[in-house]
Homo-oligomer: A and B are copies of this chain.
Amino acid sequence: MAARYTIGIDIGGTNIEGGVCDEQGVLRRQRAIKTEVEHGFEHTFQRMVRLVDDLLQDAGLTKTDVLAIGVGAPGPLSHERGVIYTAPNLPGWRDIPLQAKLSEATGLPVTLENDANAAAFGEFTAGAARDVRDMVMLTLGTGIGGGIVLNGLLWRGRFDSAAEIGHMVIVPGGRACPCGQRGCLERYGSANAVIERLIEAVQAGESCALASRLAAGEKLDARDVLRAAADGDRRAARIWDETCYYLALAAVNMQHVLNPELVVLAGGLAKAGERLLTPVRAHFEEQRWKIAPDTPEIVLATCGTDAGMIGAAALARAAQAGR
């Protein structure tokens, strides 16, 4: 029987998610393991190899049923060379030829992709963007990752670093970003940016329901700000709305540069659901061109944390098809 299945693996700093996908890209079996980064790369790598075996066993398959393995990982990495250069969440991983190593250990073809690209391709394959040909995804977490699919193909750019939309400069000379630039989108639209602005506002003496919790040394996150806003705190509401405004501007810019069919919001901040989507859409509607009928729809991702492995598996299939 021909090899019909693909395996997708999504490597995170805490967990590694693995899944078996069928020809249609549908996730049939899945498993998660701890990354255990503290024991170094080789330890994690051996766990990953075992994860592949366990997934096959769960699914009642053998390696001959599998076309290829796709791996999504944090970067910077090179898809072309199959190498992870370095990864802030995976201390000690440096210049890891993961594609070659995993291929050797499993006897299967392996495709390596950055995690934001893989997640975008997952939403394109089986999620919010499954019915369109073009999409831009923004993954709103501690930073902002991006993924671009054009005419059904992932756009990686000439040097493998397209779709770094979080580092689009949105405010010239604005907030400093660890990347070395100023005014990057992720300094205005990420979960971290929400908290940073809250802390700044409180430090500047502005009244806010969360001030006492901050003063008590509590570690707050974007959910706390959203909750305070819902409870009527004006400062928190303003910070949340500003965040949505900048994300809407990012969508306006994607409209003008790429004019995709869909802009998908994913990641931790997207868990806010309609409380994110409604104001982002409202700001977009206010900002966007009225002179052309060229509006991408803005929607929420639907695959959650499965997006990375689904996308990695689908990209492995695409690679085998020469795309």
Contact = CB atoms under 8 A, between A and B. Distances in A.
Interface string A280-323: 00000001111111111000000000000000000000000000
Interface in A226-269: 245-246, 249, 252-261
A292 B76 contact: yes
Contacts of A217: none
Interface residues of A, number: 51
B158 A260 contact: yes
Given A169-B249, A293-B159, A296-B158, A257 B257 contact: yes
A180 interface: yes
Q: Which residue among A76, A172, A289, A294 has the maximum number of chain B CB atoms within 10 Å of its CB? A: A172
Contacts of A155: 150, 258
A160 interface: yes
Contacts of A245: 172
A180 B285 CA distance: 12
Contact of A253 (B160, B168, B255, B289): B168
Interface string A163-177: 111011111100000
Contacts of A182: 287
Interface string A131-145: 011100000000000
Contacts of A255: 161
A14 interface: no
A208 to B, nearest CB: 23
A1 interface: no
A134 B158 contact: yes
A278 interface: no
Nearest to A253: B168
Contacts of A294: 157-161
Interface in A3-51: none
A61 interface: no
Contacts of A89: none
A158 B261 contact: yes
A179 interface: yes
A59 interface: no
Interface of A: 76, 132-134, 146, 148, 150, 155-165, 167-172, 179-182, 245-246, 249, 252-261, 287-296
